Chains A and B, each alone.
Chain A
Amino acid sequence: MPSIKVLAEREEKGVRFTGGHTLCAGCAEPMVVRTVLNAIADPVVVASPTGCLEVATSRFPGTAWNVPWIHVAFENAAAVISGVEAAYKALRKKGLMDRRVRFVVFAGDGGTYDIGLQALSGALERGHDFLYVCLNNEAYMNTGVQRSSATPKCAAATTAPVGEAIPGKPQERKDLTEIVAAHGIPYVAQAAVSHLIDLANKVERAMNYEGPKFINVLTTCPLGWRTPRDSAIQQAKLAVETRYWPLYEVIEGRYKINYKPKERVPIEEWLKTQGRFRHLFRDPRGQELIAQIQAEVDRRWEALLQKEKCFGAGT
């Protein structure tokens, strides 16, 4: 498993993702991108759909990418990487490629949970050999914090504002990790920017498998979550501690929860630190809504425990 030392050495040896991009101060995305790229020893080709990462790293004539990188559109990163990987296979068959190259997608939740879901599902079913990393910051942050299907219930978003009639997003977030797992691909995981070594380990384990690999990484957005710029790590950590965002893997169908918080930290502890949930603590309806959110967090956590019990490594 890659230690901090190994990751740091790789970073020094050849920077794959450079500074000088225009991602916001406090944005968690670069940490995830660097960690993932440094956890892969082979040469990589990266595809990204439209989104924060794409816009902030590829403004012509500059680029933050020191690896081959392609952006085509919003909904098709999985299809684009399918084509890149297929061309690689074809050129290898012809004897024109002798090096091992790995393929990685970095995509936001909008480009993954919503507009890109069809292309992702198609690429997973076809079995292309690639790693798909969802930088899940839980809304369309690039276009100004509009709600996505990854946005948590009650969070304020510009298309789900806190109004007199409706307090933020009425719906629960989609459980995309489970939807991806249902494709029966070799490797699926959830990770968080707060647990970078866990993330690096997951990337390394994932890359041992031929075929599609998917890691859903909770990636704090201080702008959209309305949290202090120096709080990205704490925010993600609290999401893990409250069991809102469990760290787990589904390897060849076997569930493994990587971290089980010893104490049940109430979801309120996470919600109250973020401006997007501030209304829950001011509005008289807030306590009931928080209870609903807690109930769903508990339900999902219990379901995950059951899955680990029924389909765990030991079964």
Chain B
Amino acid sequence: MRKAITGHKAVAEAMRQIEPDVVAVYPITPQSEIAEYYADYVHNGLVRTELIPVESEHSALSACIGAAAAGGRVMTATSSQGLALMVEVLYIAAGLRLPIVMALANRSLSAPINIHCDHSDAYLARDSGAVEIFTENAQEAYDYTLMAQKIAEDMRVRLPVIVNLDGFTLTHTVQPVDLLEDEVAKKFVGEFKPIYPLLDVDHPVTWGPFAMPDYYFELKRAQQAGMEAVPEVFLAVQEEFSKISGRSYQGFFEAYKLADAEYALVVLGSTAGTAKVAVDELRARGLKVGLLKPWLWRPFPAKEVAEALAHVKAVAVLDRAFSFGTMGALFEDVAAALYPLVKRPILTNYIYGLGGRDTTVYDLVRVLEELPKLEKTEWALRYIGLRE
């Protein structure tokens, strides 16, 4: 069923179809409409979910943790400062292996305060132990919200999953989205199977114990095993979803005209849509260019990224956030991925689009046109659309 809806509505519709037992959420621009749509569903009896209108994002995720440990399926959504406030307990959600799915309407972090898109919030969660998925448009945000639930709840994974969608660019723009029938979506997601739920009062379990140097390391190693299981599960879930949706999701990233490309961009989120137009324009002029758009960012599919980029002469990696004091985080991922190759592409790193700064097709055409001029990998930041 094709509908013209915003990214907010697309995510909210996926949540309605998943119908979690508990949603705990706190308003923040540009996420608020997800909370508003879901409150509408609850207040109109469309879902049986217990909605907890918490007093902060910290409590939103804390309540999600309590609800998930109790034995419920839970979801939340946030943005920017809200994610920053959640970070303490995001690490705990991952450490407790709780399959909480969260939409993150990407927005810059203060200061200065700004409500528009960049990826500094997503980058803040990078080492939290949550799986992170990026989406290019409202369709992908809808599709991956459904897939995220299945990935999170897989017994091999059992980790929180963040579905990133660019604030305003995706959340507030109306786009055509194909929605699954409710029954099809529900069947795909399936029943939630809690592990050691608190509410199984006849089998009491201690959640969140204190682990000293004699056990802490082993418990964290077990958590890493959950992360290591993600790629296999991710591909299996994509395959199943592709079958029921008729949309083709194959692999950890979309490789757009990359197979024979000599020059390429690597970019996360909605800017990949702009990048495709830039690639097409340069292809029309005979330049062999392509794009790699990661869907799965954590865990980072290093081996596959290296294979996909091995033949390329030069690659521009675009980061929509600083990792102050070093190169962009995505750039460092790509550079590390390529390191084992004997013959590596030349790399360069651009910071772009901070605080909602627009990135145009022309900007990306210029980035691609610069690539043939590079003689070696640059360990210095370049900027797109910055006044200096």
| Chain A residues at the B interface, C-beta cutoff of 8 Å | 43-45, 47, 54-55, 58-61, 63, 65-73, 75-76, 78-91, 93-94, 97, 99, 101, 118-119, 121-123, 125-126
Within B32-64, which residues are at the interface with A (CB < 8 Å)?
48-50, 52-56, 58-60, 62-64
User: Given the complex of chains A and B, what is the CA–CA distance between A94 and B139 in angstroms?
Assistant: 31
Q: Which of B67-75, B279-287, B366-374 interfaces with chain A? A: B67-75
| Chain B residues at the A interface, C-beta cutoff of 8 Å | 21-22, 24, 48-50, 52-56, 58-60, 62-72, 74, 88-89, 92, 96, 198-202, 204-212, 215, 219
Across the interface, A73 reaches (CB within 8 A) one of B49, B63, B67, B88, namely B88
Given A45-B198, A58-B208, A90-B48, decide whether A70 and B56 contact each other with a Cβ distance below 8 A. no
User: Given the complex of chains A and B, what is the CA–CA distance between A45 and B67 in angstroms?
Assistant: 12
Tell whether, in the assembled complex, residue B72 and residue A91 are in contact, meaning their CB atoms are under 8 Å apart. Answer: yes
Tell whether, in the assembled complex, residue A118 and residue B55 are in contact, meaning their CB atoms are under 8 Å apart. Answer: yes
Tell whether, in the assembled complex, residue A70 and residue B204 are in contact, meaning their CB atoms are under 8 Å apart. Answer: no
Tell whether, in the assembled complex, residue A87 and residue B21 are in contact, meaning their CB atoms are under 8 Å apart. Answer: yes
Interface centre among A71, A79, A82 (most CB of B within 10 A): A79
Chain A contacts for B59, CB-based, 8 A: 76, 78-79, 82, 118-119, 122-123
Nearest neighbor of A100 in chain B, beta-carbon distance? B201
Tell whether, in the assembled complex, residue B53 and residue A126 are in contact, meaning their CB atoms are under 8 Å apart. Answer: yes
Tell whether, in the assembled complex, residue A68 and residue B204 are in contact, meaning their CB atoms are under 8 Å apart. Answer: yes
Tell whether, in the assembled complex, residue B207 and residue A90 are in contact, meaning their CB atoms are under 8 Å apart. Answer: no
Tell whether, in the assembled complex, residue B74 and residue A83 are in contact, meaning their CB atoms are under 8 Å apart. Answer: yes
Q: What are 5 A-B pairs at a CB distance below 8 A? A: A44-B201, A79-B54, A87-B66, A90-B49, A118-B59
Tell whether, in the assembled complex, residue B55 and residue A94 are in contact, meaning their CB atoms are under 8 Å apart. Answer: no
Given A86-B67, A87-B50, decide whether A69 and B206 contact each other with a Cβ distance below 8 A. yes
Tell whether, in the assembled complex, residue A47 and residue B66 are in contact, meaning their CB atoms are under 8 Å apart. Answer: yes
Tell whether, in the assembled complex, residue A83 and residue B22 are in contact, meaning their CB atoms are under 8 Å apart. Answer: yes
Q: Can you add 5 more A-B contacts, CB < 8 Å, to A58-B208, A72-B208?
A: A63-B206, A67-B204, A87-B67, A90-B50, A97-B199
Chain B contacts for A78, CB-based, 8 A: 59
Tell whether, in the assembled complex, residue B24 and residue A83 are in contact, meaning their CB atoms are under 8 Å apart. Answer: yes
Chain B contacts for A44, CB-based, 8 A: 201
User: Given the complex of chains A and B, what is the CA–CA distance between A88 and B66 in angstroms?
Assistant: 10
Across the interface, A101 reaches (CB within 8 A) one of B21, B60, B201, namely B201
Tell whether, in the assembled complex, residue A99 and residue B201 are in contact, meaning their CB atoms are under 8 Å apart. Answer: yes
Given A54-B210, A63-B206, A86-B24, decide whether A70 and B62 contact each other with a Cβ distance below 8 A. no
User: Given the complex of chains A and B, what is the CA–CA distance between A65 and B198 in angstroms?
Assistant: 12
Nearest neighbor of A48 in chain B, beta-carbon distance? B208
